[in-house]
Amino acid sequence: MKLLHIDTSILGANSASRQVSAKVVERLKAVTPDLSVTYRDLAAEPLSHLSGTHLAAAQGAVPEEPELQKDIAAGQAVLDEFLAADVVVIGAPMYNFTMPSQLKAWIDRILVNGKTFRYTENGPEGLVGDKRIIVAISRGGMYGAGAPAAALEHLETYLKGVFAFIGVTNPEFIVAEGLNIGPEHREKAMQGAIEAATGLRAA
Ligand SMILES: Cc1cc2nc3c(=O)[nH]c(=O)nc-3n(C[C@H](O)[C@H](O)[C@H](O)COP(=O)(O)O)c2cc1C
> 156 pLDDT band (50/70/90 cuts)?
very high
Asked if pLDDT for residue 58 goes beyond 80, the answer is: no
Contact 51, 35 (CB under 8 A): no
- Eight-state DSSP code of residue 49: P
Classify strands 117-120 and 2-7 as parallel, antiparallel or unpaired: unpaired
Closest protein CA for atom 18 of ligand 1: 140
User: What mean pLDDT comes out for the span 182-196?
Assistant: 98
Torsions phi, psi for 62 (to 5 deg): -105, 110
Residue 113 beta carbon below 6 angstroms from any ligand 1 atom: no
Asked if pLDDT for residue 176 goes beyond 90, the answer is: yes
Mean pLDDT value across the chain? 95
Residue 140 beta carbon below 6 angstroms from any ligand 1 atom: yes
Nearby residues of 137 by Cβ (< 8 Å), 6 or more positions away = 17, 92, 93, 94, 155, 156, 173, 174, 175, 176, 177
Q: What confidence tens digit (pLDDT) does each residue in 8-30 have?
A: 999 999 999 999 999 999 999 99
User: What mean pLDDT comes out for the span 158-170?
Assistant: 97
- Predicted confidence at residue 195, as pLDDT, reads 98
Q: CA dihedral in degrees (120, 56, 42, 98; nearest 10)?
A: -60
Q: Using a cut of 0.85, tell me whether the model's pTM lies above it.
A: yes
Torsions phi, psi for 119 (to 5 deg): -95, 135
- Predicted confidence at residue 65, as pLDDT, reads 84
Torsions phi, psi for 14 (to 5 deg): -85, 5
Residue 85 beta carbon below 6 angstroms from any ligand 1 atom: no
